[in-house]
Amino acid sequence: MNSTVVSSLLPVVLLIAAGYLAGRRGWVRAGAIKDLSNLIFMLLAPALLFRAMSTVHVEQLSFRPVLAYFVAAFIIVAGTIAWRGFNRTAVVLALANTFSNTVMIGVALIGLAYGPEGMVVLLTLISLHSVV
């Protein structure tokens, strides 16, 4: 029970379960969910990205994880487009498949498992992925 994966995943899963329960029970209104989403994506996530990346020296970054991520993301995008056809729906699904899980779950999981060093790599991925 003391493994890095379990100890990192447990808080994330419990937080997701608490959010799901709060939504299903009606403790949080739909308007509040939109406001929380806007707060996170327009203020808190950019602040986290800026804070983590402000102390990074590019020459010290390891780009191996970045390359591995983009290879895997390319495979997922190509697979989704091959499965769904080359249309707008397929492209949106492909981007959602790669980006949403990286941001929504990845930030918490990597932060708990790897600390600040892992966050630098993940936030490098997120910033490059946002540009692409």
**Residue ranges of the domains in the chain?**
4-131
- pTM for this entry: 0.58
Percent of the chain with pLDDT over 70: 88
Packing angle between helix 64-84 and helix 106-131, nearest 10 degrees?
80
Q: Which spans in 26-63 are helix H?
A: 30-39, 45-53
Give residue-wise pLDDT tens across range 49-108: 788 778 777 777 777 887 888 888 788 778 877 887 777 776 777 667 666 667 777 788
pLDDT of residue 126: 78
Residue 117 in contact with residue 100, Cβ under 8 Å? no
Packing angle between helix 88-104 and helix 64-84, nearest 10 degrees?
140
Which two structure tokens, joined as six digits, stand for 14? 């419990």
pLDDT of residue 107: 81
